[in-house]
Amino acid sequence: MLNLTDYLSIAPFLVIALTGAAVLLFDLVFPKNKNLLIGTSLLGIVGAAFLTGRLWFQYAEGFSFTVSGDRFALLFEYVLLIIAGLSVLLSDRYLQLKNINHGEYYALLLFSTSGAMLMASAKELILIFVGLEILSIALYILAGFARTEEKSEEAAIKYLLLGAFSSAFFLYGIALIYGGTGLLTGLHGQPAPTTQLDHIASIVMLHGFNAYVVAGIALLFVGLFFKAAIVPFHVWSPDVYQGAPTCVTAFMSAAVKAAAFAVLIRITETFLQIDPSEFGVTSDVARQLALAHHVITGVLWAFAAITMIVGNVVALWQTDIKRMLAYSSVAHAGYILVGVLASNDQGRSAVLFYALIYAIMNLGAFGIVMLLSDEKQERSRIDDFKGLAYKHPFTAVLMSIFMFSLAGIPPAAGFFAKLYLFSAAVQAGDPGIAVLGLLASVVGVYYYLMVVVKMWMVPEDRDITTLTWSWGSRVAVLICASATLLLFLFASPVISTFSGSDVTVSADDYSAASAAPVEPVAPPKALAVQPHVIGATAIAQR
Amino acid sequence: MVTVAPTPGDYLPLLILILMGAFIAVLLVALSWILGPKQPSVEKLSPYECGVTPVGTARDRFPIKFYLIAMLFILFDIETVFLYPWAILYRNNAYLSRGFLLGEMTVFIAILFVGYIYIWKKGALDWE
């Protein structure tokens, strides 16, 4: 039976989804008044933020421990709400210009946000998948929102096909883990297949791995890497980012990444949080766990390295600012992966901080890109920025702030965001990836500063007379710019709020395994295999 | 309730069932094809179109409205299908109160009702 706590735990994203439905209906009744829709959306977002704050002080975990109200989830929910709020503010002028100012835009944005928030707080794989689909399906539509434009259509169909593939990978991973945990527990009694992350953690801690669980984890990673655009699963992102309406691209680049990394951290922690040294070195399960630790960190290391390098290097050749920011977003996903890799309290808070800063500076940059377009054409070439500073110095200053922040140069918050990430990696005893990340971001400085150089030092070759500000985009871009500067000054109090945001993947409340203590039961003879044949265990003994 | 770990062998009966099903289906079609008398005529060989004489080619373009209607039909069709298991549970349920079950279904129908109002107002149900 559900009780109030269950509803409290999902209240923030419930409110967002209901606001989306309300926006749909308001649009029908008052089709002319888009400001009403913006107001309603913002009201819903503020309401959801309030409810999230309530959960902060009154911990609620709902639906049989599948929806978590831990601080990690709540902080990600805040980040997502900020992204949604800024996107709602940024969009209206651009939507009018492109003649796609339909009320459904705001509704879909809110639905998508509710899915992302569900992903951030779900502790159960099926629920995470449901969140992933709510997030993605709304975005497939949004990517093709400029439906008279061929590019937008192309972006939508590419995103739909590849997104569906990645969802299928994720789902198949869940199925394999469900079967694998059933087999593992079945060897010692009642099979208890599960998709709940804390149950999986305790089963793995007691019984080790088998082939199904290993393959399942790999597929989960593939699915999430697709969503977060990690190399080599990034190929869709430049085309989709370029083709989709710019306001959608801004939302997509920030929100999907935040949600995907929230899930990635939760899943990684499930398997990395277990400390094999707690067990005796003699235990085979302990040896399997140690090997799994090595393999998972090794794989994440490789993906982080290649993502940072490819993202930054390919971005150098881009002439379109949206494509350039797409590759830059790939590179930033690589940086965030370094924090995931660190897999400690510092890494977690650094990832949270980075997700927040990245969202703010990226939304700001896209906000400026949106300004350049006019009724006649979309202007998204980097050359379109030429000489912007002569006509509109203030706008150029704002864009420069965002570019400096993305490049990680002080006095912008992007500097501290990178600093915390790389120092978390050093703390975790992996200076190599930090050095690699620093070198990659040095490459990145070139293409970010190229935009700044074009704005300030190259004379304009076209007539930039009017920039299409609206009150909403003005407010949003100013918020982004001031937050980018202020978070540089107040980085340390913010990061200290973020630290200690433990992911609650504890094995304590797992009753099926409670018969055995944490010290693993002596594994039966057949299970006693060498670590290098990990995974063959369950099948081999048949 | 399963009490032991399932082995691949447990699925053998299922495999046999699938093979038997496929075999019988192929057998019956093959037998009637081999044994049945064949006296073809133009009418018999023409594609079946609900008894009407076929007109034109089947690979024709038709209005996109059909897709819209088909999509909406499927949505509301599935809604109706969901009502059946719910109705069964509503009658014989020892765990959940009827008020709760009724409330859940009310929420479900309410969400669909919002969608219904939306498509109605947007004119998706008007043919012209």
The distance in angstroms from the start CA to the end CA of chain B is 56
Give contacts of B 1-30 with A, CB under 8 A: 2-8
At A175 the pLDDT is 96
User: Residue A241's pLDDT is what?
Assistant: 94
**Token pair of B112, please?**
């669909």
Strand, helix or coil at B52?
A: coil
pLDDT score, position A37: 93
How far A100 CA sits from the closest chain B CA (Å)? 16
Amino acid at residue number A472: G
Calculate how close chain B gets to A184, using CA atoms only, in Å: 9
pLDDT of res. A160: 95
Q: Report the distance separating Cα A231 and Cα A300, nearest Å.
A: 11
The pLDDT profile of chain B, 128 residues, written as one tens digit per residue, is 445 666 777 889 999 999 999 999 999 999 999 998 888 888 778 777 777 777 777 788 878 888 888 888 998 888 889 889 898 888 887 777 888 889 889 999 998 899 899 988 888 888 77
- CA A26 to chain B, closest CA, distance in angstroms equals 10
**If you count residue pairs, one on A and one on B, with CB atoms under 8 Å apart, how many are there?**
32
In chain A, which residues have their Cβ closer than 8 Å to the Cβ of B117?
A: 25, 28
Contact between A52 and A14 under an 8 Å Cβ cutoff? The reply is no
Contact A28 B6 (CB under 8 A): no
Question: DSSP label at A21?
Answer: H
Contact between B118 and A28 using a beta-carbon 8 Å cutoff: yes
Q: Where are the alpha helices (DSSP H) in B36-64?
A: 42-45
> How much is the pLDDT for A344?
81
Helix residue ranges per DSSP H, A283-385? 284-315, 321-342, 345-372
Nearest-by-Cβ selection for B4 from A25, A186, A542: A186
Give the pLDDT score at A126: 95
CB-CB: which of A21, A182, A190 is closest to B114? A21
The closest CB to that of A186, out of B5, B114, B117, belongs to B5
Neighbours of A161 (CB within 10 A): 12
B75 touches chain A (CB under 8 A): no
Q: Which of A1, A191, A542 sits opposite B100 (nearest CB)?
A: A1
DSSP-assigned states of every residue in A249-297: HHHHHHHHHHHHHHHHHHHHHHHHSS-GGGS-TT-HHHHHHHHHHHHHH
B107 contacts chain A (CB < 8 A): no
Please indicate whether, in this complex, the C-beta atoms of A28 and B114 are within 8 angstroms of each other: no
What is the Cα–Cα distance from A220 to A203, expressed in whole angstroms?
18
Distance of CA B14 to the CA centre of its chain: 23
Q: What is the pLDDT of residues A203-233, one digit of tens each?
A: 888 888 889 999 999 999 999 999 999 989 9
- Integer Cα distance of A468 and A379 in angstroms: 12
Walk along chain A (542 residues) in steps of 10 and give the mean pLDDT of each run: 80 94 92 91 95 85 83 92 95 88 94 96 94 95 91 93 94 95 87 89 86 93 94 92 94 94 91 66 76 89 95 93 94 94 86 94 93 79 87 91 93 91 90 93 93 88 73 91 92 81 46 37 36 37 37
- The nearest CA of chain A is from the CA of B59 a distance in Å of 24
What are the structural domain ranges in chain A?
4-501+534-540
Interchain proximity B5–A21, CB inside 8 Å: no
Closest partner residue to A1 (CB to CB) among B2, B96, B117 is: B96
Cβ <8 Å between B7 and A542: yes
Task: List CB contacts (< 8 A) between B7 and chain A.
Answer: 542
Enumerate the residues of chain A whose CB falls inside 8 A of the CB of residue B6. Answer: 182-183, 186, 191
CA distance A394 to A388: 10
Asked if ipTM goes beyond 0.85, one says no
Nearest in space to B10 (alpha carbons), one of A440, A182, A366, A218? A182
Shortest CA distance from A539: residue in chain B? B7
Token readout for A115 is 């899915």
pLDDT for B62 equals: 79
Asked if residues A216 and A177 have their Cβ atoms less than 8 Å apart, the reply is yes
Contact A468, A97 (CB under 8 A): yes
Instruction: Answer yes or no: are the C-beta atoms of A345 and A499 closer than 8 Å.
Output: yes
Q: Which pLDDT belongs to residue A3? A: 76
